[in-house]
Amino acid sequence: MEAERPPVPPFTMTESAVLKVRLAEDAWNSRDPAQVSLGYTPDSRRRNRAEFVEGRDQIQSFLTRKWARELDYRLIKELWAYTGHRIAVRFAYEWHDDSRNWFRSYGNENWEFEPNGLMRRRYACINDLLIKPEDRLFHWPLGRRPDDHPSLSDLGL
């Protein structure tokens, strides 16, 4: 049996859904595939764009490839909706490729959790927009987004 990964369902707005989203954002901003994969069930199923991934080993491989290609990755997630054991988020992240072309990727995710708080399913739809370096909005040092950094809504995204 896997250990609990609080907060656990059923989710509430102020006590758990917003916190669960922020903890996921923090994990992804660490860019540590092994650590991120621990938030998912061992048999978790994910769709990211047109790629289907199943299980923690595949999640780690996917994230390793992703962050080798999406350099200087910085992500902001925002709660969209929640009920019981499901959460919907919207997100944006900025990154550049190895030719220093900057992108802002936008999307939505639907999450489904086990009673212990591990994510069982994640479905993401993502679009990439080429941006000029001077149009970047995410400038904090790599790692966790500072608490005082504007949210997606604050940035008009």
> Is residue 27 situated within a structural domain?
yes
The answer for residues whose C-beta is within 8 angstroms of residue 95's C-beta and 6 or more apart is 70, 71, 72, 73, 74, 102, 103, 105
CB atoms within 10 A of CB 109: 22
pLDDT (mean) for 38-51: 95
CB atoms within 10 A of CB 26: 14
Q: How many domains does the chain have?
A: 1
What predicted TM-score, i.e. pTM, was given to this entire model? Answer: 0.95
pLDDT (mean) for 145-153: 97
Phi and psi torsions of 88, nearest 5°: -115, 135
Residue 112 CA to residue 86 CA, distance in Å, equals 5
pLDDT digits (tens, 9 = 90+) for 55-64: 999 999 999 9
Q: Which of 144, 84, 141 is nearest to 112 (CA)?
A: 84
**CATH number of the domain residue 65 falls in:** 3.10.450.50
> Is residue 2 situated within a structural domain?
no
For residue 135, the 8-state DSSP code is G
Which of the four pLDDT bands, split at 50, 70 and 90, describes residue 1? low
> Is residue 6 situated within a structural domain?
no
DSSP codes of every residue in 42-106: EEEEEEETTEEEESHHHHHHHHHHHHHHSEEEEEEEEEEEEETTEEEEEEEEEEE-TT--EEEEE
Question: Domain range spanning residue 62?
Answer: 13-138+145-155
Let me know how many helices (H) and strands (E) the chain has, helices first.
4, 6
Which of the four pLDDT bands, split at 50, 70 and 90, describes residue 13? confident
Question: Residue 2 pLDDT more than 80?
Answer: no
pLDDT (mean) for 24-42: 97
pLDDT digits (tens, 9 = 90+) for 87-132: 999 999 999 999 999 999 999 999 999 999 999 999 999 999 999 9
> Is residue 4 situated within a structural domain?
no
